[in-house]
Chain A
Amino acid sequence: MNSYDVAIIGAGAAGASIARELSRYKLNIAVLEKEAECGFGVSKSNSGIIHPGTQNPPNSLKGRLCVQGNILTRSIAKELGVDFQEAGELIVIFDERDLPRLLELKREAEALAVPELRIVDRGWLKENEPNLSPEARLALYAPTAGIISPYRLVYALCENAVRNGVEIHTQAKVENIISLSPARELNARFEIVTLKGTFRASYVINAAGLYADDLSRMAGIDDFTIRPRKGEEFILDKKKQNLTRHLLFPLPSKTSKGILVIRTADGNPMVGPTAEDAKDKDDLSTSDEGLKKVFSSVKRLVPAIDEADIIAYFAGLRPVAGEDFIIRYEDKAPGFINVAGIQSPGLTAAPAIARMVCAMLKKNGLNLRKKIIFHSKRKKPIHLFNIPLSKTQRFIRKDASFGDIVCRCELVSAREVSDAIAGGARTLDGIKFRTRAQGGRCHGTFCTTRLMKILSQETNTPLTAVSKRGLGSEIVKEERTP
């Protein structure tokens, strides 16, 4: 049985950030992920906003980590070759009577040290956000808000962690955590029983997203529960990519930041999310009501938004444990750290969470000795859609398969698909999230068969085993074979 210094449960934004941060040190680290690929839980339906730190209660842990994370994300994105765009956000009011509330938000954010905030007026809005409703009166402008691809960030963190020696085990759902008595085993304090075998570790970090409460209970800590709160999002055609320039928020309510008009890292406008408590943790269904709610709400912000431009929609679940994040070393289960309830702004906060967890480990006896060689950089994957056509020739000349186009809507080559598989993609969704193939307007009608063949060949699995997102989601039932 392999023994590790640290086992991290969950390879979402939080788990991946922690893994990558810890990979700077001389440690044996295992990441245990229940899904077929990293980032397939909560993170894959994240909106991708790197929040500036507004709309957090003063003195909250999440507010503090969000502001730090906004700064850290920029350098991590640069190191790991993930695009980060500073878009800026506007929290818009339609009635000057709401100005005191807007000023309060500004004060609260300033208390958290959110930089460069200011109130902008109708004239500014008209000039800088021309499609915003003419009824919008004023807005709180936070220029440090940004956009990133949540899954490409998670993949980059994971790839880089692996490069630095971390083991990632997918389809390794944790079934039980057993505390070992110190007499029996000197180093390992925990035995983690998974569907992929048993792992021993001295420290366990629970970053299990929606299931963090179940995992915590296994370690004997049961003072919180995770409630899934659903958000439905709608993605619009990239033809509308100039619809808005900033991330647009209405005035937030107590429970949610409201329904937003933003855009994805790939430039598609995205509207949503709703915020409804969901009954179970794998209910990712969308609804007619969600569609109506989102569009009636966002049309107030941007009247030009049209349902006819929807090209995709999805739902995600936020893991809600209460008002704030739960990040703590559990004295009752020495060696066990909970990283739970990481809802918005969790993606932004993730790198700051990682640093906080490192400090906790150090404080509680883990010897953090820096490696002499830490590979901080990851080569940015080449995507034809990111490269002007005039420069594409260089890549095609270097490798002919850059000219072998697989996906017509998003311009993805066979080489990019192979690179995605080399980087860990094992499913069609994994290829989609990395390369955008199947993500365009034809939704994979053209490229699915080709992607299946490439995946089957390069991972040496039969075509009937190729799946959308892991076991049970195989694409086809039978193959005619000799």
Chain B
Amino acid sequence: MLEKDLVIVGGGPAGMAAAISAYENGVSDILLLERDQYLGGILNQCVHTSFGISYFKEVLTGPEYSGRFINKVKAIDKIEISLKSFAVNLTKDKILTFIKPGLIQKLKAKALIMATGARERTREMLHIPGARPAGIFSAGLAQKLINIEGLLPGKEVVIAGSGDIGLIMARRFVLEGAKVKAVIEIQKQARGLVRNVVQCVEDFEIPFYLQHKISRIYGKNRVERIDVARVDENFQEIAGTKFQLECDTLLISVGLIPENELIEMAQAKMDKKTNTPVSNELNKTSIAGLFVCGNAFRIYDLVDSVTKDSVLAGRQAAEYLIRGSGRTIPAGLK
């Protein structure tokens, strides 16, 4: 079976930072798997600022931030990059299977770093009752449609939840010529950063309803309108507060879930509540040599923190490999 010292799953900011860090700490046989046809992960669709203030001391957009890592990763010949490659199976012995066009490959990794990011919580997880027509999108899908595919999902938009992607998309829709009718948040305060409330919602005078929820969706083929109601401390609808908003699109922006199905498949111990692996040390799992970093490890507000976390994971993987090989750890490790 093909063997690799280090396999990193995920070519977003976490995976790239981990790969560079592992290389800089002495690992010379690295395979980086990315399922998309480009490196960069979710940052490719985050065309807004402000990434990089803490890490690069500069204000960058998502593609600029990831672009710097892409250039760096590509320049290191010890990092083999495999695009359009889906990891589909992982065992506790760190045997990984991935599929790409024309190829299914099984390999044994001495160490693995899972940098698989997160997925968005969906309408289904909120149990919003009512119809199930077209026009309901996660905020991230709407972002991909507009920024990557050049497609405008809708003209009259309501945003459920106030996560950062949802707030950013409120502005993006307005700039694309759509009307954003409301942002509706069940909590007492915004989920996302205050700065995004200011520059994405208040700047465009979009109504922002705190302590409100969407209680029903209407529409036969396409979303036509929604019911909104005020909620009490226990998130229960307060009678008599219901009102309707007409819209053709509903965005769901209610947070992210770490994507750790491969780690779970490998039977590492999992915390069911957070969907992250249980371990007593940062970036580690209950399986020796299996590491996790970035949003798969913990949902971060800032990509700069993802980078920091992933650099550490890369170094830990390097230490694990060097210890396993019987070599002494060189002085002056990063």
A contacts, CB < 8 Å to B: 282, 284-288, 290-291, 307, 310-314, 389, 392-393, 396-397, 400-401, 403-405, 408, 411, 413, 441-446, 448-449, 452-453, 463-464, 467-481
Contact = CB atoms under 8 A, between A and B. Distances in A.
B222 A445 contact: no
B281 interface: no
A478 B249 CA distance: 13
5 contacts: A291-B129, A403-B102, A445-B138, A473-B133, A474-B134
Contacts of B124: 310-313, 443
A92 B123 CA distance: 34
Interface residues of B, number: 45
Contacts of A478: 151-152
B239 interface: no
B101 A475 contact: no
Query: What 6 A-B pairs have minimum CB-CB distances, sorted nearest first?
Result: A472-B221, A400-B102, A480-B150, A468-B134, A473-B221, A473-B134
B59 interface: no
B145 interface: yes
Contacts of A445: 119-120, 122, 138, 140-141
Interface residues of chain A: helix, strand, loop or mixed (majority): mixed
Contacts, number: 129
A477 B149 contact: no
A287 B132 CA distance: 12
Interface residues of chain B: helix, strand, loop or mixed (majority): mixed
Contacts of A310: 124-125, 127
A103 B7 CA distance: 61
Contacts of B133: 468, 473
B104 A403 contact: yes
Given A285-B130, A471-B221, A389 B145 contact: no
Contacts of B222: 472-474
B153 A477 contact: yes
B88 A411 contact: yes
A413 B35 CA distance: 12
A393 B104 contact: yes
Interface of B: 35, 84, 86, 88-89, 97, 99-104, 119-120, 122-125, 127, 129-134, 138, 140-141, 144-145, 148-155, 216-218, 220-222, 248
A449 B134 CA distance: 14
Given A445-B119, A478-B151, A389 B104 contact: yes
Contacts of B152: 476-480
A393 B103 CA distance: 7
A397 B120 CA distance: 34
A430 to B, nearest CB: 13
A279 to B, nearest CB: 14
B11 to A, nearest CB: 14
Nearest to B100: A403
B101 A442 contact: no
Contacts of A282: 220
Given A467-B134, A476-B153, A443 B140 contact: no
Contacts of B97: 389
Contacts of B131: 284-285
A401 B149 CA distance: 22
Given A400-B102, A477-B248, A405 B86 contact: yes
B154 A477 contact: yes
Contacts of A480: 150-152
A428 to B, nearest CB: 8
Given A396-B104, A445-B138, A476 B99 contact: no
Given A443-B124, A449-B144, A405 B102 contact: no
Contacts of B122: 441-443, 445
B149 A403 contact: no
Contacts of A396: 99, 102-104
Contacts of A404: 84, 100-101
B45 to A, nearest CB: 10
A479 B99 contact: no
A479 B150 contact: yes
Contacts of B101: 400-401, 403-404
Contacts of A411: 86, 88
A388 B65 CA distance: 40
B108 to A, nearest CB: 15
Contact of B149 (A307, A393, A449): A449
B127 to A, nearest CB: 6
Contacts of B153: 475-477
B270 to A, nearest CB: 10
Contacts of A446: 119
B14 to A, nearest CB: 17
Nearest to A391: B104
B141 A288 contact: no
Given A443-B122, A470-B221, A471-B221, 11 more contacts: A282-B220, A287-B129, A314-B132, A408-B35, A445-B140, A449-B141, A468-B133, A474-B222, A477-B153, A477-B154, A480-B151
Contact of A444 (B103, B130, B141, B149): B141
